[in-house]
Amino acid sequence: MTEYTALIYVMVAMAATDSDMTDNELLTIGNIIRSLPIFRDYDQDQLPNAAEDCAAILTEDGGFDTLVGLAHDSLPPGLHETAYVLACDVAAADGKVSQEEIRLLEMLRHGLTGGRLPVAAIERAARARCTTG
């Protein structure tokens, strides 16, 4: 699995975790892929296939655990926090974070991040970027 695919899986899983992929979540994923340097060389035509593959994993028993393991194994340590940032941005995109999203963030926190202080900073930054007033 490529780094691109792992990051996309994390974002798609976050959007799908509460069974309600909102327009804002999908827009956020698209904006991230178009604007972040990590995706500079990504072929955006591959996004639908990556999203379908991710959905197939999530329908399996233990799919979210599998996804976190794949992300951990596929991403170099320097991109673990990036994955968590992207997950937080997608979770915050629609202005509310569901219990299912909180649970996936917890799983990602334990599987990918390096400590409480970076996690708190990432979560606060995501809230600040999505606050409307």
* Domain ranges within the chain, ordered by starting residue: 3-130
Question: What topology is assigned to 3-130 in CATH?
Answer: TerB-like (1.10.3680)
Q: How far is CA 105 from CA 26, 52, 92, 101, in A?
A: 18, 21, 11, 6
Higher pLDDT, 112 or 71: 71
Q: How far is CA 85 from CA 15, 61, 126, in A?
A: 14, 26, 7
pLDDT tens digits for 12-45?
Answer: 999 999 887 888 899 999 999 999 999 999 999 9
Cα(92)–Cα(45) distance, rounded to whole angstroms?
25
Q: Supply the pLDDT for residue 72.
A: 94
For residue 8, pLDDT beyond 90: yes
Rg (CA), the chain: 13
pLDDT tens digits for 93-124?
Answer: 888 888 999 999 999 988 887 678 887 888 88
Predicted TM-score (pTM) of the model is 0.89
